Structure formats: structure tokens, C-alpha cells
């Protein structure tokens, strides 16, 4: 039995029409995750099956309800062990509800790979395992379905379930992912959230050519300005990829990582060669007032809402590393207005490039990294 796990009924038309049109004599089971229901589509091609799907459409442009994970898990446990092939959404889909469904489906079928529709993923290029160019007649089926049954979703571009042009595939592409690879893409999609820490090394700091070069040059940059002996406070140490390089250069480091999972891996990686704390930047500045020769905020200003907190950092030097846009839009205006810091050096650590992520399953443009070194303004010198 073949199974499609889709978030909403309209997804069957926009992303899985080639599956609906294949094997017309075989049973095709569909899970509609947002509705928490399973539907068996009749034999026949895409036209007959889309007619059945239309009966499950609703008139609202709002999500049916938050994904009921326990209900979805129950449906999947019943169906997937009987399935011969499974299709679902991609864990890297920029629409979070679809990405969640794709991720949970991969986990439920952990022993076998799942075919994930590429979906809407403008930040990543995924390496397709199955590519199906659609005919004009098949595209017409999609567009007619949307015109007849989903016009509100096309019309309302502010609706959570809005269907933009890029969501209506003319060439349906599917990538085969294991549960571990789905975990990795899910972590990357949630890189600003705690779910980023669900897997080890989500950003490929240990293996990516780009990331290894960025970390090496960052450690060398710090060492050009700091001789071993003074305390370095590294804010947002993650799993210690930079920490280890600083320790190898002879520096004394206080490595700070608030996330429990990342901090456990950091502790294992540095093995008592550095002091480790759960402090956030706010803790370090306003609560602990930890004094140091230099503070290092390396590619972590995304997590800092108000850069003026750095005016109170208790050190002589402040090393920042950001991408070019972050430097121009946030760091330069803050530094120009800061009464506490002056620019000592600005240097390109690594240039933008296109690099693999998630092993070799996807690639994307990395933004490059600019180092900004600030020196505390002496009292009365401004």
C-alpha cells in the first residue's frame, strides 16, 4: 500500500499530483495531518482522485488546527507498517506546519527512507532522488483544482494557508531522507530555536570546509590581538568548535552556553580544559559582571535583540563576528552611537560561498563572516 502524508488536502494537488497519477489500480491511502484523518482514495488517475480530495476541502483560509502530534503518530503507526512507499513534505519546507509533518513522518518510519516533496525551500537546494516533469494536462489539473476548490487560499496572500506560485510545482521533485537526515534538516529550519540542539553539530562545524576555515581564521584573528594569559569570555560557545581552537592556542577561556544539550556536548568536547557556564550575555553583563580581557560574540548577535547591552560588557576588547548585512544594518549603527566602544579593526574572515549542509543532501549560500574588533573608550577620551 502506498501512503501520502500531507498537511492539508490542497497539498495533494500542489505537490503530490504525480503520485496521485501513478499506479491507478493500486490502493492509495492519504493522511491529512491537520485534520487528523485518513482517507483512502479510489482507483484511477489524478483526476478521479482529486475529485475525492475536493470533498475534504474547507472554505477557510486558516489552519484547521495545530498539528495534533499524538493523533498523527497514532494514524502513522497504523498505516506505515503496512506501506510499501511513503511520500510526505520536506523537513526543510519554509512552511513550518508542512515541515513538522514531514519530520514526524520520517521519525515514524525510522527503519526506511521516506520520499519528501521539496516544497517551498528558497534557502536550500535539495538533491532530488525522484524528479517528475508534469505535462500540460497535469498542470491544468492542478490549476483547475485550485480555481474550483482553493481560490480563497490563492487570493488571500496574508492567510497562513496561502498558496503562492512557488508552492505549485510544475516539476515534482522528491528527496529520499533517512530519519537522521530529516532530524538534521528539522534542526537547521529551527536554528533560532531550542530544536536546533536536538542533533549534534547541526551546522557542520566539524566537517564543512567553509565552517572549518571560518573557525580557524577566527581563532587566528583573536590570537593576533591577544597573547595567552588573559581571560577570554566566549558567549554562545555551542559545542565548542571555536573553544577547542582557542584552547589549542593557549588561551584561558570561559565558555558560556545556555542551551543544556549544546552545553553537555561542549563539556565533553573540552574535557575540563576550559571553565564552562550556562550564562547568557545578560547574565554575564548584568548579573555576574564577569570581567575579562576580551569578550567574544562570534556569530551569535542574531540572538541579541538590543545591541546596546554590549555597552556594558566588562572588558577592554570586544570581538564580534557577523555577516555583512548584520554588520551594515546593526553593528555599524550601534558602534557609531556607542559611548563605550570604538572601532579598532574590521576584517573579512571568510567570503560568502555555497556549501553543503546536512551531509550531501542539500546545499545553500553561506553569508560570509566579518570580524569587528572594538576597543573600550577610555574615560574622558570621547
Q: In this structure, is residue 224 part of a structural domain?
A: yes
The per-residue pLDDT for range 104-115, each reduced to its tens digit, is: 999 998 778 899
Over the stretch 187-205, which tens digit does the pLDDT of each residue have?
Answer: 998 888 888 999 999 999 9
Q: Does one domain contain both 25 and 173?
A: yes
Given this model, what pLDDT does residue 201 score?
95
Domain annotation covers residue 297? yes
- Residue-wise pLDDT for 75-92, tens only, equals 898 888 778 899 999 999
Maximum alpha-carbon separation in the chain: 84
How large a percentage of the chain has pLDDT more than 70?
98
What are the pLDDT digits (tens) for 113-172?
899 999 999 889 999 999 999 999 999 999 999 999 999 999 988 888 899 999 999 999
With cell 477557510, the residue in question is 60
Say whether both 37 and 160 belong to one domain. Answer: yes
Does 102 score more than 80 pLDDT? yes
C-alpha 126/C-alpha 202 separation (Å) is 16
Asked, for residue 11, whether it belongs to a domain, the answer is yes
Which residues, including other chains, have CB under 8 Å from residue 185's CB and lie 6 or more apart?
90, 91, 92, 103, 177, 358, 361, 362
Strands laid side by side in the 37-41 sheet: 37-41, 28-32, 2-6, 85-88, 114-117, 171-177, 130-133
Q: Give me the chain's average pLDDT, please.
A: 93
Question: In angstroms, how far is CA 191 from the centroid of its own chain?
Answer: 5
Q: Is the domain of 184 the same as that of 214?
A: no
Looking at the 3D structure of the chain, how many domains does it have?
2
Domain presence at residue 366: yes
Judgement on whether residues 21 and 117 belong to the same structural domain of the protein: yes
| Mean pLDDT score, 30-46 | 93
Domain boundary among 189, 220, 235: 189
Please tell me the number of Cα atoms within 13 Å of 261 on its side-chain side. 11
Tell me if 12 is assigned to some domain.
yes
| Averaged pLDDT, 327-346 | 97
CATH of the domain at 357: 3.40.50.150
Between residues 47 and 62, which one has the greater pLDDT? 47
- Reported as a single tens digit per residue, the pLDDT across 242-274 is 999 999 999 999 999 999 999 999 999 998 899
Note whether 164 and 285 are same-domain residues. Answer: no
Q: Residues 297, 230: one domain?
A: yes
Judgement on whether residues 155 and 290 belong to the same structural domain of the protein: no
Residues 327, 184 share a domain: no
* Domain-embedded: residue 78: yes
pLDDT > 90 in the chain, percent = 81
In this prediction, residues 276-291 reach a mean pLDDT of 93
Whether 374 has a pLDDT exceeding 90, the answer reads yes
270 in the same domain as 150 = no
Q: What strands lie across the sheet with 353-357, from one edge to the other? A: 125-126, 362-366, 353-357
Per-residue model confidence (pLDDT) at position 375: 97
Give the pLDDT band (50/70/90) at residue 380.
very low
Do 310 and 263 share a structural domain?
A: yes
Last residue of a domain, one of 189, 220, 241: 189
pLDDT at 381 over 50: no
Helix 96-108 / helix 179-189 crossing angle, nearest 10 deg? 160
Q: How many angstroms from the chain centroid is the CA of residue 51?
A: 36
Q: What is the pLDDT at residue 357?
A: 92
CATH number, domain with residue 99: 3.40.50
pLDDT higher than threshold 80 for residue 64:
no
Residues 53 and 175 in one domain: yes
* Cα 111 off chain centre by: 24
Domain boundaries, position 63: 2-189
Same domain? 351 vs 223: yes
pLDDT at 379: 53
Which residue, of 189, 222, 237, is where some domain finishes? 189
Collapse the DSSP code of 98 into the 3-class scheme (helix H, G, I; strand E, B; otherwise coil) and give the result: helix
Grid cell digits, residue 372 = 569587528
Residue 59 has pLDDT above 70, yes or no: no
pLDDT of res. 156: 85
Q: Which residues pair with 41 in a beta bridge?
A: 28
199 occurs within a structural domain: no
pLDDT at 382: 38
Residue 239 placed within a domain:
yes
Amino acid at each position: 500500500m502506498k501512503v501520502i502524508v500531507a498537511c492539508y488536502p490542497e497539498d495533494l494537488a500542489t505537490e503530490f499530483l504525480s503520485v496521485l497519477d501513478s499506479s491507478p489500480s493500486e490502493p492509495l491511502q492519504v493522511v491529512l495531518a491537520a485534520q487528523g484523518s485518513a482517507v483512502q482514495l479510489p482507483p484511477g488517475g489524478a483526476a478521479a482522485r482529486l475529485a475525492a480530495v475536493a470533498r475534504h476541502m474547507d472554505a477557510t483560509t486558516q489552519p484547521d488546527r495545530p498539528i495534533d502530534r499524538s493523533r498523527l503518530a497514532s494514524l502513522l503507526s497504523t498505516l506505515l507498517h503496512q506501506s510499501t512507499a511513503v511520500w510526505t513534505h520536506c523537513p526543510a519546507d519554509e512552511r513550518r506546519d508542512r515541515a513538522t509533518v514531514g519530520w514526524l513522518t520520517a521519525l515514524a518510519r525510522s527503519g526506511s527512507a521516506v520520499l519528501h516533496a521539496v516544497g517551498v525551500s528558497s534557502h536550500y537546494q535539495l538533491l532530488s532522488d525522484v524528479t517528475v516533469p508534469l505535462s500540460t494536462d497535469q498542470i491544468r489539473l492542478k490549476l483547475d483544482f485550485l480555481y474550483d476548490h482553493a481560490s480563497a487560499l490563492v487570493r488571500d496572500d496574508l492567510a497562513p494557508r496561502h498558496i503562492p506560485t512557488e508552492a505549485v510545482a510544475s516539476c515534482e521533485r522528491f528527496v529520499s531522507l533517512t530519519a537522521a537526515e530529516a532530524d538534521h534538516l528539522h534542526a537547521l529550519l529551527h536554528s533560532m530555536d531550542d530544536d536546533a540542539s536536538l542533533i549534534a553539530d547541526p551546522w557542520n562545524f566539524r566537517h564543512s570546509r567553509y565552517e572549518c576555515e571560518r573557525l580557524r581564521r577566527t581563532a587566528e584573528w583573536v590570537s593576533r590581538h591577544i597573547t595567552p594569559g588573559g581571560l577570554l569570555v566566549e558567549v554562545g560557545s555551542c559545542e565548542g568548535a571555536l573553544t577547542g581552537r582557542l584552547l589549542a592556542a593557549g588561551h584561558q577561556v570561559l565558555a558560556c552556553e545556555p542551551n543544556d544539550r549544546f552545553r553537555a556536548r561542549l563539556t565533553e568536547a573540552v574535557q575540563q580544559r576550559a571553565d564552562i557556564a550556562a550564562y547568557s550575555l545578560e547574565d554575564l553583563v548584568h548579573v555576574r559582571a564577569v570581567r575579562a580581557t576580551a569578550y567574544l560574540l562570534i556569530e551569535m548577535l542574531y540572538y541579541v535583540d538590543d545591541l546596546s547591552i554590549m555597552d556594558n560588557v566588562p572588558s577592554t576588547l570586544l570581538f564580534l563576528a557577523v555577516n555583512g548585512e548584520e554588520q551594515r544594518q546593526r553593528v555599524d549603527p550601534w558602534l557609531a552611537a556607542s559611548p563605550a566602544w570604538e572601532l579598532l579593526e574590521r576584517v573579512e574572515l571568510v567570503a560568502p560561498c555555497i556549501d553543503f549542509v546536512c551531509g550531501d543532501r542539500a546545499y545553500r549560500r553561506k553569508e560570509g563572516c566579518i570580524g569587528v574588533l572594538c576597543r573600550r573608550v577610555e574615560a574622558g577620551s570621547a
